[in-house]
Amino acid sequence: MAPTRESRRSVFRRIAHRPYADWPVYDATPLYDQRSLDGLESDIRTVSQTWFKHDRHESVENFVRLLPLAYFEFQAHDRYAGPTRYEMDTLFRVFVLKECHGWDHETALVEYFECRPELYEQFGLKTVPDQSTLWRSWHKRFTAELRRTVETAARTILIKAQNAGVSVPRDPERKLRHRNSDDDDSTPDEQHVLERTETITNHVSRIVFPTFSLDRGDGCEIHENAYWGLQTYLGLRENLAANEGARSFTYESTRDRTPLGHAHREQIRALSITEIREMYRQAVARLLNEAAETEQFFRAGIVAIDITEADPFTGDRTGHEGEIIGTKEKTGEYAYQWATVQLVGNVVPIVLDARPVRKGETRLEIVEDLLDSAEDLVHVDNVLMDREFDSQHVLEMISQRGLSYVVPKRMQTSEKAQAKRLLQSDQDRYETDRKLHLGKNEWHETTLIYRRKEDSEHDDHRQYSVFMTNRGSGHLTEYGYRWEIESGYKSIKRFMAATTSKDFGLRFFYFAFACLLYSIWRAVDLLVQVELTGEYEHSPMVTADNTLTLLKKETGIG
């Protein structure tokens, strides 16, 4: 089926209705302008991802010829000064089509057009260019950077089409092509890793950070990028607060003007929790799209939901009792709490979403909210949670979504009695079905699995743990993946800026931005490993400090 005006409108209406619409990117963020090739690549990624999801859009060629390019200023990348026969945007489409087919020479493109006169007319050509004209346009007229953008654009289009089930002229290489990556060294040394890390970090940062925006109006002397540069800089050192960090950043930054600590905090405090979360989710969506272009990344899988808390709060919390709440272990201390949902298992551990925890919120509200976000971004199969989510209503909600779960159960009288019987009979494992009361004569059916801990320090019923699952004991082995979220929290807190402020939005932003830095690090590590070895191992090849230093180096956005 051919695209129609209505189908095209539907695509761009869907893009426009996104929160913090990021197309065209030069108009949605100050990081790019209408000459930016990085911005053009970002726009093609955004449009192609939505385009091929429409039932009528089943042709890569139709996408290439209809891709909006009128806003882009190709003149900055045109090395010809005098009058020319063919416009740059037309040639851009023609060469993207050539790259989509994977033809090495212009002759194949010429022959393809000659056999399809209706096609070259649709591409805005009155006649088919000869081979020599196309060769000169590609090698002499297009800049090297524009040629790389053509290759990147074609690869993106093929992958987005293939992901949507649309037939493609050739299988795309699902592996990033990076600048200056023409060597084939399969045994990366430390310098090689650092070089690749710098290239990929710069590439990823230009994709992710444009989703963050401050509503400062026009005519500001300090560029918005400087604020994100400072925030990244604060994550480079443990316990670095904005005032001290801003002073150091003034000397280490390449910018003429950088924000002072109080100005930085003021801008962040102006962001609402809702705005922060929406920007974060947009950033993670872009990060996942980049990671998904490798064969080693799998969108379907396991997520872990958990709550972490800041260091105990020792000041006066008057007026903030609903935000500075008790600790999870009920120690009598008070702390800010944050909840996250994170990919775990055989996949790169990216934090999909984060949210604050307020007094009075139920675990059901928290889990439902985070699962909504996770399922918008990835296909979720299994949910792992800690025993604080031992709630029949939470489990029923997960089951109604068609998802499996594994949750440790608090041992009540009946569970302790069963564990004692197992101990007496020297039984290591036991399964039993259980109905949990939901109220109004409604029940949630689950399976209780008793498992004896190895090398337990106890000699009584505490040797046993009890888990609940709705998919049988086979999923119990997956619970071991939950340790990744705890180790992730350690790194995330290492990336957080220090503050004594009670402002809830500021506190949450510091945590969310640290989650983003952590996720960028793990995604960069995935891409570097795939680039250098063709495989992915959970043990990072790239250090967090290397990634953060390179992010800071990119003059504000990285």
Encode pLDDT of 476-485 as tens digits.
Answer: 777 777 777 7
Report whether pLDDT(414) > 70.
yes
Q: What pairing do the DSSP bridges indicate for beta strands 404-408 and 429-439?
A: unpaired
In what side-by-side order are the strands of the sheet with 429-439? 351-357, 337-344, 301-309, 380-385, 404-408, 464-469, 442-452, 429-439
- What confidence category does residue 416 fall into, taking pLDDT thresholds of 50, 70 and 90? very high
- pLDDT confidence band for 20 (50 / 70 / 90): very low
Q: Give the residue, 120 or 140, on which the prediction is more confident.
A: 140
Predicted confidence (pLDDT) per residue in 512-521, tens digit: 988 988 988 8
State the maximum Cα–Cα separation within the chain, in Å, rounded to a whole number. Answer: 93
Q: Indicate if the pLDDT at residue 236 is higher than 70.
A: no
Q: What is the pLDDT, as a whole number, of residue 537?
A: 80
Let me know the angle formed at the C-alpha of 51 by 45 and 56, rounded to the nearest 5 degrees.
160
Average confidence (pLDDT) over 493-505: 86
Say what the pLDDT of residue 290 is: 82
What is the DSSP pairing of strand 464-469 with strand 442-452?
A: antiparallel
Mean pLDDT of the residues in the chain: 83
Q: pLDDT exceeding 90 applies to what percent of the chain?
A: 33
Q: Residue 183 — very low, low, confident or very high, per pLDDT cuts 50/70/90? A: very low
The token pair at 466 is: 């009890």
Instruction: Place 372 in a pLDDT band, splitting at 50, 70 and 90.
Output: very high
SS (H, E, C) 7-52: HHHHHHHHHHCCCCCCCCHHHHCCCCCCCCHHHHHHHHHHHHHHHC
* Mean pLDDT of the 65-83 span: 89
Higher pLDDT, 470 or 180: 470
What integer pLDDT is reported at residue 109 of this predicted model?
A: 92
Q: Is the pLDDT of residue 253 over 80?
A: no
User: In this model, does residue 384 exceed pLDDT 90?
Assistant: yes
Find the helix or strand (DSSP H, E) in which 556 lies: none
Cβ neighbours of residue 342 under 8 Å, at least 6 residues apart?
A: 303, 304, 306, 349, 350, 351, 352, 484, 485, 488
552 or 103, which is more confident: 103
The Cβ of residue 240 has, within 10 Å, a number of other Cβ atoms equal to 18
The string of DSSP letters for 152-208 reads HHHHHHHHHHHHTT---SS----S---TT-----SS--HHHHHHHHHHHHHHHHHHH
What letter would DSSP give residue 282?
A: H
| Confidence category of residue 341, pLDDT binned at 50, 70, 90 | very high
Residue 100 near residue 168 (C-beta atoms within 8 A): yes
